[in-house]
Amino acid sequence: MRNNPGISTTRAFLSLFFIAFVMPVLIFSAGYRYLSRANLELEERSLLRRSEPAAANLDASLNNGSFWCLQLNEVFTNASDVKDFQAGVASLSARHDQKLRYVVWSTASSDLYSNFSVAARRSEWMEAGRVIRTIYSSPGDQVRMLDGFLLKKLLGPHIHGKRLYETFKPVRPRILETDFAMKHPLVWVNSRREFTAMVLLPPAILKKRHGITAFFKQFASTEKNGDEFALLSGTKLYSNSSLSAAEINNLKDRFLKTGIKVVFSVQRLVFGEQLSDGSFFMVARAVKSSHTAKAEGLFALGLLFFLLLFIRSCPLNRLSGRLRINTAIYLFIGLSNILPLFLLMFFTSQYLAQKHQVLIDDKRAESVRFIQLLEQQFQNEIERFPGKVSAIVDSFAGELAQYSLTREIAERIHGRLAGQNLIFHLIASNSQQILTTDGFYSDRKFVPLGKIQYKLEFARIDELMMKMGSCYLAFCNKTPVSQKTLTETELVADTLFRKPVDEAMHVFVELTGKIGSLGFGAYSRPSFVNILAVNSPGYGDYLGLYQYNVEKNALDFLNACRRERMANSAGLKVVFARGETVYLDGVASFSNVEEISRVFNRQTEYPPLSAEVITLDGKDWICTGFQSSVIKGHGLIALYPVEEIDKKLGREKSDLIMLFAINLLIVFAIAFFFSHMLLGPVKWLEEGTRAINSRDFAYRLPDLGNDEMGRMARIFNEAVTDFEELSVARVVQQQLLPQGKIDTGRFDMFGRSTTLADLGGDYLDYFEIDAESFAAILGDVAGHGVGAAMIMAMAKSAILNSTDYFKAPARLVSRLNNLIYSTKTRKQKKVMTFQYLMVNKLSHTATYANAGGCNPFLVNGKTGKVVEVALPAAALGAFRKGDFREMEICFAPGDALVLYSDGIVEARNLAGEEIGYERFKSMLLKNWSHDCEQFYNSMAAEYQHWLGGVEPQDDMTMLIVCLRDGNS
């Protein structure tokens, strides 16, 4: 028995289980876990991007004075005129239930407006407006003593005029206290081209919580993700969170210990940050569980259910028969390639989502670098400042040597230096002369120069600088200094520098020819010292002390580099703010410019750690910036449209989709190629099968290569060659069969051979011997095929050549035995059973010889008798010499002699039972008929009934000779 070359059901089931269940579950598990992690990271970035600016806003709102300062600055910025500002202050006062007093100075009408009486001191309030405008135009400059006294008189005894700038400075503005006892109102001021405003607030407002309340109200109103917040300030807790105070304290300890900003805790992402006053701010966002076991289990159970349902509806042993080969190839190649491709598409979508965040962060870093590059360019401008100024002053060296510092020369030098936006003091060594930004002092007379014409007296600070400069020149020239002058210089050094005179002189030495900090005043500027020698190279005639006005030059610098800020290779739009004024430079006509103002208000001097995305007129912009420590007094923000990132990712997404489409086409092309490569030979084989089915044994397959299909084709061609030989043999065998009816007299004869294969091993023949007799032959060659057919042909040929022995059956059988035995070889050892019946038509007798055949039966249905005709002998070719005999059979009317092959009696039914001789005898008696053909057909029908659908195990041949009645 041959082994089944197909795949066993167990292996097929295991393969299907692995492909249809294990692999999808593993892929789903990996993909779902990756998706969970990616979503958690995206949520973390989103929470961080929302919470960090909120923490910065809250930090500014913790101090109620800073909060009110920011609120008033916002009202001031949004007001189009004086009336708008008055309405805004009234609304702010009503909203927070606070009594606010204000004074507003209109630039156009040179008038003032207030909500309290100022008529009695109107002139003083008008002068106060001028002082505030001066402070705003030159933040950080010294305030005149008389102006300082005026402010103290109007506002409070301890107000410092120079500090009024702090109410509108970009970084952490603050309300000013006017006296230490907090009996006078707090002060806020601001100024712009149209009007100048001052608001007086009650001192008790500093103890309120307006900032915190407003922040959480706004934070909750803009919340769309269900975020919870909490602020732990000392013993007070402000929260809408479901977390308890103990849980919030535990989270605070965790944040402080780890130093990270976002943690995962109990189905929540939590952002935490400690604010400047020690308060702890927290934002919690509920997220889905990161545990994927439940989802994976549900997916596995669902998939297993459908797999079992599929197996039940379509058993594995029938599945292969239902699928065409090309369908199976497309299916399996598609599944093995498309599934990974779709998995790759899934990961790619997550990659693009993460890359979106990464590009935003990269653009934040690029924005910081770009702003720092602008700072470096401005710093370079500062570094070039000493050379430019020295060149201007040195150009007057010849005139100073010839004429000294006259008023005419002083005016010309002043005119050249005034355009450089600097504060300068040019001090002569041998006279009481000094040229300053405000004017020229000589011979105890002060001549005001420049724009500030109201300064009619010599400023005290300029007088001190003249004494300090004269002393330094004497120190450099090694000329004696009187004790009185030295004492005065020590007092000046203490006043200006808060240092001893020797240390102050050392500062001058360090700044000679180099840029640096002079070190006095609340807002020191980059400064340098230059000694001008006009008469003798080793003797200093003039000392120049120059301070770079950073604020004024910064505005000029930023305006000058507008093109670079607005049109650069990075695609950034850099805007800046000076005080409360935001310079958009035509970036866009934003209707909600206050959003940018709020960003400026919460800026620090440090770049943000994460990007902030703001919405302006329906478009998202990446907003990154900080208050510049180099370009002083200015905050810078770099804006970049998010839609540019979306476009870039859109193009990348399109490229990836195109790549996936190409991959799919390649997969289908590969499937088509393999289908053609595999099915091409199969189609040739199919054509060959059809040729065989139509018995076209001359058909040959072409050369299909050296693979398995090629070898199969060669085997097929060899088999077809054998089939061709079989065809020839069958033709031969067909020629061996009786070609027509013969005259049998009163005898009726019918015989038929049904072969198991194309070439059977049974031999049936009959022919007339002479007018009185005829012969009937039944043989059975062991095996089938060409060999059996050749034995039969040889037997018939021998019979046809033995006419002398036709009436001597025993001698004929003996002759055939000798012939067949002589053909036996090691490979060819076939034997043949042989029965020969010679019937005499006249005497109604027959002579019978048997060589190993089944004993025939003589049946008479009328008498009910069945007689076995036994004549045992060996088969033809079994032995060299055989003992073959013959016997005579007498026929009575109705007698039927049945010759048959062993294929009948050995036939097995479904139960494996054989017909056997006894059952065969019963069948003969049951189906007897004097019509031999009818007799045969009845026996053949019962034979098929016995098989019960089972294929026959051997050839079935039967020959019936019956003597008819005289009346038949």
Give me the mean pLDDT over the 289-310 stretch.
Answer: 76
When comparing pLDDT for 39 and 377, which is higher?
Answer: 377
With beta carbons less than 8 A apart as the criterion, state whether 601 and 577 touch: no
Counting runs of H as helices and runs of E as strands, what totals does the chain give? Answer: 26, 31
Is the model's pLDDT at 809 over the cut of 90? yes
Instruction: Give tens-digit pLDDT for 812-831.
Output: 999 888 888 887 776 666 78
What confidence score (pLDDT) does residue 839 get? 95
Instruction: Give tens-digit pLDDT for 406-452.
Output: 889 989 999 898 888 888 889 998 778 899 888 888 877 888 886 55
* pTM score of the predicted model: 0.54
Instruction: Give tens-digit pLDDT for 467-523.
Output: 888 888 888 888 888 888 888 888 877 766 667 878 878 888 888 888 887 765 434
* Beta strands across the sheet bearing 439-442: 445-448, 439-442, 434-436, 422-428, 542-548, 526-532, 516-517
Give me the mean pLDDT over the 218-232 stretch.
Answer: 73
DSSP state of 185: P
The burial class, CB within 10 Å (0-12 / 13-18 / 19+), for 731 is exposed
Cα–Cα distance, 216 to 240 (Å, whole number): 9
> Which percentage of the chain shows pLDDT scores above 90?
15
What confidence score (pLDDT) does residue 3 get? 46
DSSP state of 21: I
What confidence score (pLDDT) does residue 42 get? 78
DSSP state of 876: B
Instruction: Give tens-digit pLDDT for 91-118.
Output: 999 988 899 999 999 887 778 899 999 8
Quickly count: other Cβ atoms within 10 Å of residue 193's Cβ.
Answer: 9
- Same topology for domains 568-645 and 737-963, yes or no? no
The burial class, CB within 10 Å (0-12 / 13-18 / 19+), for 222 is exposed
Collapsing DSSP to helix, strand or coil, 297 comes out as helix
Which of 2.60.40, 1.20.120, 2.40.360, 3.30.450 is the CATH number of 568-645?
Answer: 3.30.450
Is the model's pLDDT at 835 over the cut of 80? yes
Collapsing DSSP to helix, strand or coil, 748 comes out as strand
Is the model's pLDDT at 453 over the cut of 50? no
Q: Which of 204-213, 764-773, 913-922 has the lowest mean pLDDT?
A: 204-213
What confidence score (pLDDT) does residue 668 get? 75
> Mean pLDDT, the chain, as a whole number?
81
What confidence score (pLDDT) does residue 335 get? 64
Is the model's pLDDT at 35 over the cut of 70? yes
> Which percentage of the chain shows pLDDT scores above 70?
85
When comparing pLDDT for 487 and 57, which is higher?
Answer: 487
DSSP percent split of the chain into helix, strand, coil, nearest 5: 50, 20, 30
Is the model's pLDDT at 402 over the cut of 60? yes
Is the model's pLDDT at 552 over the cut of 60? yes
Tokens of 632: 């002083």
CA 115 to chain centre: 62
Q: Quickly state the pLDDT bin for 263 (edges 50, 70, 90).
A: confident
- What kind of architecture, by CATH, is found in domain 737-963? 4-Layer Sandwich (3.60)
Give me the CATH topology for the region 217-286.
Beta-Lactamase (3.30.450)
Q: Report domain extents, the chain.
A: 99-207, 217-286, 422-548, 568-645, 737-963
Instruction: Give tens-digit pLDDT for 665-688.
Output: 887 777 777 767 666 667 777 777
Q: How many CA atoms lie within 13 A of 259 on its CB side?
A: 0
What confidence score (pLDDT) does residue 848 get? 95
What confidence score (pLDDT) does residue 483 get? 82
Is beta strand 832-840 parallel, antiparallel or unpaired with respect to 773-781?
antiparallel
Is the model's pLDDT at 790 over the cut of 90? no
Quickly count: other Cβ atoms within 10 Å of residue 655's Cβ.
Answer: 10
Q: Quickly state the pLDDT bin for 457 (edges 50, 70, 90).
A: low
What confidence score (pLDDT) does residue 159 get? 83
Q: Which of 8-17, 258-267, 396-405, 915-924 has the lowest mean pLDDT?
A: 8-17
Tokens of 411: 């005016």
